Structure formats: C-alpha cells, structure tokens
Amino acid sequence: MPPLPGTETILVVDDEHAILSIATLMLQRHGYNVITSPSGKETLHLFAVFPDLHVDLMLIDIIMPEMNGVELASRLSEIR
C-alpha cells in the first residue's frame, strides 16, 4: 500500500541551500506544504511578520551560524 499523501505544513530551517532544496523536493513529492528558511534569524522574522502562520512540524538544523537549532527551537516555543 503506498503512503498516504501529506497535507501538513512543514518548516525546514537549514543554512545549506542543497539541504533545503532536497528536503523541499522530497516533502512536496509526498504532498506536504513546505516553508524554508536559511537561518534562525530569518525564521524568527518570518514568525514575527506572519503571527498566524500555521506550522505542523519543524525540521531544524542543529548547527547553524549565529543561532543553533536548539536555541531557535527554544525561542520559537517562547513565541508560540
């Protein structure tokens, strides 16, 4: 039985463009809506500009310049 198509929105945060591209292609192929961000700073800005943005799952790179994934997840949980 093939997997059911996804309908959720997934945020992918990674500082490597190739990773963002591959993750987006794979997730979209299975029906997911994908939002990408190249940094923690831009992700926080995204949530500030769009306070009603609904995200079902976040895939966050742990090692990024300026703000690591753990710090970003912590700050996002404070916002939401």
| DSSP state, residue 31 | T
pTM for the model stands at 0.90
The whole-angstrom separation of Cα 14 and Cα 18 is 9
Helices 40-49 and 69-79, axial angle in degrees (round to 10):
10
Token pair recorded at residue 16: 């490597």
Strand order of the β-sheet with 33-37 is: 33-37, 9-13, 57-60
Nearest alpha carbon to residue 11 among 46, 57, 49 = 57
Per-residue pLDDT of 2-55, as tens digits, reads 767 888 999 999 999 999 999 999 999 999 999 999 999 999 999 999 999 999
